[in-house]
Amino acid sequence: MAGAGVREFKRRIRSVKNTQQITKAMKMVAAAKLRRAQESAEASRPYTETLQGTLARLTAVAYDVTHPLLEKREDILKVGYIVVTADRGLCGAFNSNIIRLTVQTITEDTRDVDHGIIAVGRKGRDFFRKRGEVDAEFVNLGDNVSYADAREIGQYIVNAYENEELDEVYIVYGKFINALRQVPTVVKVLPIDPPTKDEEVEERYVEYIYEPSAEEILLTLLPRYIGSQIYNAMLESKASEFGARMTAMGNATENAGEIIDSLTLKMNNVRQAAITDEILDIVGGAEALKKGGK
């Protein structure tokens, strides 16, 4: 019986060690991908900030311009949410936190409106598909975020907004802080909110000379601004995914080590008990033989 118990412990330890090797390898892969994703996310931030500043500057001097993407509608009938999640799991609470924030945001919207989901990533798609809320899906985009994919998503929501299929659009993604911290974030995408015109803003931007006119540049820039927002969110979310996966796999590797230590201790106790029983049997047999010889 004891031998069978030891063999069972050995089998379980071997199984946990195999799992530990997998989680350790996944942690190393995620760490390597995280470095590249983090560099891409950090490199995109200055461009996005500059684009925002340019947009603010243009709207300050071209405040009379009209464009469908700047139009705020009084009757809001449907709100769209671009939900950026991962295609795979094993990244801790990363996906569930983004999905939870989306559901919370929808629940807290007290207006009598419909809600639609533009799912970027399989995990978000699978969750909201069960609720029947997915209007469009963009899945299996790979680990390398492409601006072409972001532009396609941007074009979809721009068309939906201009055709009055959506009246407001938000994007929900994981903002990358560091490998241990990713913050689920909601950002309004449409309609674009230009800064209000005041004397201070006008005075700050009036020295620029635009060729062609500020109005023409603004009209060209607005769709690109949408694509840039989505692209930046996808980069941030991808870096957050790898950071969360690296942390989760690191914790799993450590937990596997603790399980192995615990099983090894229990196996040694069983083995020691078996040896003690055998010694007692031998001593008992020797005593019996000694008494029989007398």
Catalytic residue set: 91
CA dist 144 and 157 (Å) reads: 22
Reduce the DSSP state of residue 169 to 3 states and report it.
strand
Write out the DSSP string of 133-162: -EEEEE----SS--HHHHHHHHHHHHHHHH
Q: Could you count the other beta carbons within 10 Å of the beta carbon of residue 154?
A: 24
Contacts of 125 (CB under 8 A, 6+ apart): 85, 119, 134, 137, 139
Please work out, in degrees rounded to the nearest 5, the angle formed at the alpha carbon of residue 93 by the alpha carbons of 46 and 34.
40
Distance from C-alpha of 273 to C-alpha of 28, rounded to nearest angstrom: 40
Q: How far is CA 206 from CA 65, 66, 67, 198, 210, in A?
A: 16, 20, 22, 12, 10
- What are residue 186's DSSP bridge partners? 172
